[in-house]
Amino acid sequence: MAAATFSSLHHKISVSNSINKAFHPQSSPNLIKLPSKTPRPSSFNSISPKPTLSPLSTRPRAAADDVAAPATAFHGVCYVVGDNIDTDQIIPAEYLTLVPSNPEEYKKLGSFALIGLPAAEYPTRFMTGGEFTSKYSILIAGDNFGCGSSREHAPVALGAAGVKAVVAESYARIFFRNSVSTGEVYPLESEKRLCEECKTGDVITIELGDSLLINHTSGKEYKLKPVGDVGPVIEAGGIFAYARKAGMIPSRAV
């Protein structure tokens, strides 16, 4: 199984977050976000988490003054893909000139998320032209999600597009690692083959504490694999915050 690369001292999973609990499926998918994402300019997104930081600053979860209730759930409409979705399909190479750490370009990357999926197999597109975020905030995938390149643009594009969590049967190593390091998308693994159980458009709730995925549209519930090794890293806020907690690197220079 695709295991994470970070040591596990405990398995408590909590993600500090700003939550706006309006669960209307039609509303902005950006309600529950991992705070490490670069917040959108408020003019762009009407229901957004408190943008505590300027786009150029770093992982907010690391900051001591970042007060937020830990999120324990994700809710939204899901988009379903199959096996071996590689990074070229997630974000085609021609868009890699966009630099993720540049806020304007980060936003643009979001507009191209999953644009590489072939139209024949995926007639319902993840994004419709001109959008910067998708109405789908949960991605459900089969095996080996994110295979191919090491490009961090892949989880970044998904995160920028508003994906909060990916639930895959298994992950390719580098993509999984990048997801954890950046905090852009929460990478979860399913026990069953959810890409065959769920359909694009289904309304989903993920309860992290119970490792449960609820499909409101079909009425079925599914067990997810415990987050395991990555738990402490995600909880800390990515590799930098984790390293600071462990005393590996000094507190962040302001």
Partner 1 sequence: MASAAIASSSSSFINQRRNDVGLSSFSPNTSFYLSNAKKKMVSKNIVSVMAPQSQRTPSTTGSVKTGMTMTEKILARASEKPQLSPGENVWVNVDILMTHDVCGPGSIGIFKKEFGQNAKVWDREKLVIIPDHYIFTKDERANRNVDILRDFCNEQNIKYFYDINDLGNFKANPDYKGVCHVALAQEGHCRPGEVLLGTDSHTCTAGAFGQFATGIGNTDAGFVLGTGKLLLKVPPTLRFVMDGEMPDYLLAKDLILQIIGEISVSGATYKSMEFVGSTVESLSMEERMTLCNMVVEAGGKNGVIPADATTYKYLEDKTSLPYEALYSDEKARFLSEYRFDISKLEPLVAKPHSPDNRALARECKDVKIDRVYIGSCTGGKTEDFLAAAKVFLASGKKVKVPTFLVPATQKVWMDVYSLPVPGSGGKTCSQIFEEAGCDTPASPSCGACLGGPKDTYARMNEAQVCVSTTNRNFPGRMGHKEGQIYLASPYTAAASALTGYVTDPREFLQ
- What's the CA gap between 237 and 239, in Å, rounded? 7
Q: Which position among 14, 51, 83, 228 is part of the footprint of partner 1 (CB under 8 A)?
A: 83
The CA–CA distances, whole Å, from 68 to 64, 71, 164, 246, 249 equal: 11, 9, 17, 22, 24
Instruction: Please give the residues from 181 up to 220 whose contact with partner 1 meets the rule CB under 8 A.
Output: 181-182
93 binds partner 1 (CB under 8 A): yes
Q: Is 239 in the site for partner 1 (CB under 8 A)?
A: yes
Map tokens 């670069």 to a residue.
Answer: 38
Q: Does residue 116 touch partner 1 according to CB under 8 A?
A: yes
Q: Is 238 among the residues that bind partner 1 (CB under 8 A)?
A: yes
Instruction: Name the minimum Å distance from CB 94 to partner 1.
Output: 6
Q: Rounded to an integer, what distance in angstroms lies between the CA atom of residue 32 and that of residue 198?
A: 21
3-state secondary structure 50-87: CCCCCCCCCCHHHCCCCCCCEECEEEEEEEECCCCCEH
Longest dimension (CA), the chain: 51
Phi, psi of 111 (to 5 degrees): -70, -15
Q: How many CA within 13 A on the CB side of residue 159?
A: 29
Q: Interface with partner 1 includes 96 (CB under 8 A)? A: yes
Decide if residue 11 touches partner 1 (CB under 8 A).
no
State the nearest-atom distance from the C-beta of 223 to partner 1, in Å: 17
Residue 64 found at the interface with partner 1 (CB under 8 A): no
- 199-to-29, 40, 221 alpha-carbon distances in Å: 18, 29, 14
In the bound state with partner 1, the residue whose beta carbon lies nearer, of 113 and 214, is: 113
Per CB under 8 A, the list member of 5, 42, 124, 218 interacting with partner 1 is 5
The H-or-E segment that residue 89 falls in is: helix 87-90
Go through 121-135 and write b for each residue having 16 or more CB atoms within 10 A of its CB, e for each that does not. Answer: ebeebbbeeeebbbb
The least distance separating partner 1 from the CB of residue 154, rounded to whole angstroms, comes to: 9
Asked whether position 86 contacts partner 1 by CB under 8 A, the answer is yes
Given 147, 167, 227, 236, the residue binding partner 1 (CB under 8 A): 147
Q: Does 52 bind partner 1 (CB under 8 A)?
A: no
Which of 22, 47, 69, 248 is in the footprint of partner 1 by CB under 8 A?
A: 248
Residues that bind partner 1 (CB under 8 A): 1-7, 56-59, 83-84, 86, 88-89, 92-94, 96-102, 105, 116-119, 143-144, 147-153, 170, 172-174, 177-178, 181-182, 229, 238-240, 242-243, 248-249, 252-253
